[in-house]
């Protein structure tokens, strides 16, 4: 699915993925009626990803009070997610997108160039899905610090 199809007002791509956390598998259809904050991050236990996860953790009770579920997604394995989540006490599920199906559906795999080495990596991105399963907000090229608070403000404005 191209990024043009991931736009506010469009139906969110349906997905199911293995998860570390509350359930062993998460299906978007099972979250119908809740707001879903789906945040994609590059790699477990790296500085920016840790900051982002810790900020979502600090605000998680507020997200829950607003009727939202937070889901983190990376291409890391369930074993890696378990270590990461336990190390920082993340209260929300981390989805293991080892086959890149979610990353592809939400068009977050981008070419990156670091020190002349070109690779394909996850562009830090967040999608807010409303209670009816429609995309309510999209943010790409996210800066980790302060992001969770900004997303919480958006979630609180949704019906």
User: Active-site residue numbers?
Assistant: 49
SS (H, E, C) the chain: CCHHHCCCCCECCCCEEEEECCCCEEEHHHHCCCEEEEEECCCCCCHHHHHHHHHHHHHHHHHHHCCEEEEEEECCCHHHHHHHHHHHCCCCCEEECCCCHHHHHCCCEEEEEECCEEEEEECCEEEEECCCCEEEEEEECCCCCCHHHHHHHHHHCCC
């Amino acid at each position: 699915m191209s990024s043009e199809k991931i736009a506010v007002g469009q139906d969110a791509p349906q997905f199911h993925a293995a998860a570390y956390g509350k359930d062993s598998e998460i299906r978007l259809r099972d979250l119908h009626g809740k707001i879903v904050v789906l945040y994609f991050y590059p790699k477990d236990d790296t500085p920016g990803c840790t900051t982002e996860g810790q900020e979502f953790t600090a605000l998680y009770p507020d997200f829950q009070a607003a009727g939202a579920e937070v889901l983190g997604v990376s291409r890391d394995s369930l074993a890696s997610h378990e270590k990461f989540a336990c190390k920082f006490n993340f209260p929300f599920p981390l989805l293991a997108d080892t086959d890149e199906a979610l990353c592809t559906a939400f068009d977050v795999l981008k070419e990156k160039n670091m020190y002349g080495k070109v690779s394909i990596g996850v562009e830090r991105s967040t999608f807010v899905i409303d209670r009816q399963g429609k995309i309510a907000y999209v943010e790409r090229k996210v800066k980790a610090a302060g992001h969770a608070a900004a997303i919480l403000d958006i979630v609180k404005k949704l019906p």
